[in-house]
Amino acid sequence: MTSGGEMWLDRDAGPVVRSYALTRGRSRPPGATLGLIDVVAAVSSSAMSTRGLGPEHRRLLDLCRAPAAVADLASEIDLPLGVVRVLLGDLCEHGLVSVVSTTRRSVPQESVLRSVLDGLRAL
């Protein structure tokens, strides 16, 4: 609300809530940073475990019932990626979601890649 008592409004969307209000001023997720293509899946969504979470947390938890990439979740919930990462970090800390990191896998050995390349050249 402004000093004049009027609400901040977006004509199409309704009341405006700033991103930092959703994350309580945090710009980084607790724990490890989530990659764009890391896959998130809900582990638990019982009423007891979701107590104290905001509506955005609950919406993300609903979206995570089927495994989804972080970028897809941000697109679906229509929030900035940074905000979604912080909210998912909260859910991960509460043990409500599990994250499968796709970016931190081991890199294949050079000898294996050379063998594949040689095999392709032989074709």
pLDDT of residue 67: 92
Mind listing the domains of the chain with CATH numbers? Answer: 27-122 (1.10.10.10)
Q: How far apart are CA 39 and CA 44, in angstroms?
A: 16
Q: What are phi and psi of 38, to 5 degrees?
A: -65, 140
pLDDT of residue 2: 47
Q: How far apart are CA 24 and CA 30, in angstroms?
A: 12
pLDDT tens track for 57-91: 888 999 999 999 999 998 888 788 888 888 888 88
10-residue mean pLDDT series, the chain (123 residues): 51 56 61 82 70 82 91 86 85 87 70 88 89
pLDDT of residue 41: 92
pLDDT of residue 66: 92
Task: Kindly provide the b/e burial profile for residues 7-41, where b requires at least 16 CB atoms within 10 angstroms of the residue's own CB.
Answer: eeeeeeeeeeeeeeebbeebeebeeeebbeebbbe
pLDDT of residue 28: 63
Cβ atoms of 85 and 29 within 8 Å: the answer is yes
